[in-house]
Structure 1
Amino acid sequence: MLVLQLALILAASKLAGNISVRLGQPSVLGELLVGIILGPSVLGVIHDTDILKEMSEIGVILLMFIAGLETDLKEFLRSGKSSTLVAVGGILVPLLGGYFLGEALGFSSEQSWFMGLLLSATSVSISVQALKEMDRLKSPEGTAILGAAVLDDILVMIALAFFMSMIGGEVHFGTMLLTKGLFFAGAIFAAWKVVPWILEKLALLKVDQSVLSAALIICFLYAYLADLSGVSAIIGAYMAGVAISVTEFKHEIFEKTETISYSLFVPVFFTSVGVVAHFHGIGESFWLLVILSILAVFTKLIGASWGAKAAGFSWGSSLGIGAAMVSRGEVALILANIGLEHQLVSQELFTVLVVVVLITTIATPPMMKWFFTVGSKGKTLKNTG
């Protein structure tokens, strides 16, 4: 029964989050782990139903929308250099690492390059929560991470389109590039002219919570159109938040959206990440899982950290930024499904990759906590331009 599942998820996630904080870790780590305990892999009291999937998707969209609302647009634009270096470094090192691992395992050249592309993906939805808890979301490091996440999503999906067109896949590179370009052009224009107008007009309606409803409409439309154009829905939601962040309604929308999100949808999202984990039969591919997990964590950590260091951050902050980029999340799962459909990934490897994505997600919050604690003792970047 859905209402019972929701009661269990909310109770367990809040208790686990509290325990995690008391142990000196971000609460999101406890919420991720309790999902595994409640899910089919351990207790089996919560199952990955379609309704929970939809609620989880709303949760991650709202989480990134809130991150956008908290973004300082001027600081975000000034962080272009650091974001670019972090994104490029965080793509190149995993790309090459995945390719050479594929070659060592006897994969074809196409399969090896696809493995590299998959490991290049990043999803910072988990990192956003860890940054919020450490009060670093608005810091130069947090801004660089968010900017790098947007660039990473764009570059990896463009690279995927180019790769699929080269091997005769269904994706047409030129069409995808045009579609993405149109989305970003339209999203920026709407943020400039349409979003403020919509909020001002709907604020005049004589109904309850008209401003909040208008903001959620904008958020969901941005997310939908981003997904439709091949850009991650969470990037669209983040852009919607940034668009609203420069309006007079920012604080009202932020407070009310945060209340809705963290009371229901966001806990469901964090817990569901663990619920969807399935470890049955993974023992047969144990060493492949270990090797891929180590490669996934360290290539992204090293690549993004080098980029951050080149941009002028201290080593502690650079490693914290690199750690924030480690989680592959839903972006890598999308790529893994594409690989399975085109026989670039075997069923056995697909199962391993799903667990690797989970491991990178669970590893991200404590790594961020550790490196940013170390980084706070050193000198952080003051000018990210």
Structure 2
Amino acid sequence: MEFNVPSLELPFFANLLLLLVLARFFGEIMERFKQPAMIGEILAGVLLGPTILNFIHRTEELKVISELGVFLLVIIAGLEINLDEIIKSMKGRNIVISVLAFFIPILAGFFVGRHFDLDVMSTIFIGLCVAITALPVSIRILMDLGKLNSPVGQKIISVAIFDDVIALTILGILLDIKDVEQTFFNITNATLLTLLKLSSFLILVIVTYRIIRNVSKEENFIENKLNKIISVLKGKESLFAVFFVFILIFATITESIGLHFIIGAFFASMLISKELVGEKHLNTFHNTTNSMAMGFLAPIFFAGIGLEFQFSSIQNYPLLFAIIIVSFLSKIIGGYVGGRFARLDHKVSLALGFGLNARGIMELVIANIAYKAGIINTEIFSILVIMGLITTLATPFLLKRSFKSIDNKKDHLS
């Protein structure tokens, strides 16, 4: 329900202060209940925005801060990814899990869009949001349950990595063809051109990865070179600047060829691993980035989503319920069927499906990007925000019960 409360015109920094304090306060409450802070941060934006109190609106300055928040969140997601894990997820039976856990949900989301006669771009994008798994959220939930390094936990992570990479690749294509006249011929041509650009960029990433790996065969070579560069540079946080320059180069390349900057930032941050730059340097960069993102920029970004969220814009309640139900069922079924095809037992396959169900950060990031790009309208954006929150809230409970069932079975067998 949207209340007609008069808008207060506060100065920019007063808005920023109010938004940050309330976002962190609600985020802290959520964390105490073992839920991701982003849920509280979004609720802070909903409370302060047009939906309830109407104190703050999304200004251009807040949008710029949100963009920086997106940039850092994507970097953090990339740093969590080990390229060797991607290769592992594409080998043997693991590829079956990864493919089914992504393509069953994307097709299910696509059919929902077609059933409700949505336009092609909105339909494809709903499928994409249904198919994605939020890697950072999955990692956090598994860590809280003490199952991150378990065999099931590692399978969830490797499949989530595959899902995120494929989802961001498809997002790049959607953003590139959004302004094309919606005919089969034009969309096909634009898609092929985008795939060509994307393939060229991926070749650059692979070549860079190979060069780095070859150079780093000499023990600690890159780490030693970084130490020399940092010793020459007198400015504070020089290491942070060096890594950011590397990531910004890739982000600039993707923007220059017409793809979104997060594609370049994501793949560049994936190249930065402890094997290549040393554990100490990686931890320093990760901690600094994490502090900037989670302490300031990310709360403003998620609160900004709350400001954009408009419950009153949702008129099509059957579409809302259909997307929520399909999101749950298709992801759990995709993970379960993939697990069974990979010859995992019933309980493990079910845990896999539950673990992949959280959308959270990545789904909200790409939903926000698509909304700003005009691919989806306010109603679909608000529906996708609700879907992301509900699936993220439900996953820890479902996964905890599933792991308990697996542990009880092990105890019984022993």
* TM-superposed deviation, 1:146: 1.9
Rounded to whole Å, the distance in 2 between the matches of 1:99 and 1:71 is 28
Provide Cα deviations, 1:49-70, integer angstroms capped at 9, x if missing partner. 1222221222122123123323
Single out whichever of 205-214 and 84-93 deviates more from structure 2: 84-93
Matched, 1:43 2:53: yes
Q: 1:101 to 1:40 in 2, by over 3 A?
A: same
Q: In structure 1, what residue type is equivalent to 2:61? A: I
Matched with 1:21 is: 31
* TM-superposed deviation, 1:310: 3.7
Q: How does 1:1-385 map to 2 (within 5 A)?
A: 1-81=11-91, 84-102=95-113, 104-105=115-116, 107=117, 114=121, 116-122=123-129, 127-129=135-137, 131-132=139-140, 134-135=142-143, 139-140=153-154, 141-155=156-170, 166-169=184-187, 172-193=190-211, 199=226, 202-203=229-230, 204-229=232-257, 233-245=261-273, 246-248=276-278, 249-282=281-314, 284-311=315-342, 312=344, 314-325=348-359, 328-332=363-367, 350-377=377-404
Rounded to whole Å, the distance in 2 between the matches of 1:87 and 1:165 is 31
Identical residues among aligned pairs (%): 24
Rounded to whole Å, the distance in 2 between the matches of 1:234 and 1:337 is 14
Report SS of the residue matched to 1:71.
coil
Q: 1:127 to 1:36 in 2, by over 3 A?
A: farther
Rounded to whole Å, the distance in 1 between the matches of 2:270 and 2:58 is 32
Q: In structure 2, what residue type is equivalent to 1:88? A: V
* TM-superposed deviation, 1:358: 0.8
Rounded to whole Å, the distance in 1 between the matches of 2:56 and 2:134 is 21
Rounded to whole Å, the distance in 2 between the matches of 1:146 and 1:259 is 23
Rounded to whole Å, the distance in 2 between the matches of 1:99 and 1:125 is 17
Provide Cα deviations, 1:143-199, integer angstroms capped at 9, x if missing partner. 321222102332565589699662534952331111001111112333444795995
Structure with max Cα Rg:
2
* TM-superposed deviation, 1:212: 0.5
Q: In structure 2, what residue type is equivalent to 1:4? A: A
Rounded to whole Å, the distance in 2 between the matches of 1:118 and 1:74 is 29
* TM-superposed deviation, 1:231: 5.2
Rounded to whole Å, the distance in 2 between the matches of 1:270 and 1:355 is 13
TM (norm. structure 2) is 0.74
* TM-superposed deviation, 1:95: 4.3
Rounded to whole Å, the distance in 1 between the matches of 2:256 and 2:99 is 25
* TM-superposed deviation, 1:334: 5.3
Single out whichever of 76-85 and 146-155 deviates more from structure 2: 76-85
Q: In structure 1, what residue type is equivalent to 2:264? A: G
Instruction: Report if the CA contact (8 A) 1:94-1:303 is conserved.
Output: yes
Report SS of the residue matched to 1:324.
coil
Rounded to whole Å, the distance in 2 between the matches of 1:148 and 1:133 is 17
Count of residue correspondences:
367
- The Cα RMSD (Å) is 3.6
Q: In structure 2, what residue type is equivalent to 1:29? A: I
Rounded to whole Å, the distance in 2 between the matches of 1:302 and 1:201 is 51
Rounded to whole Å, the distance in 1 between the matches of 2:132 and 2:191 is 26
Provide Cα deviations, 1:214-255, integer angstroms capped at 9, x if missing partner. 112222333343455565544432322221213122122122
Q: In structure 1, what residue type is equivalent to 2:87? A: L
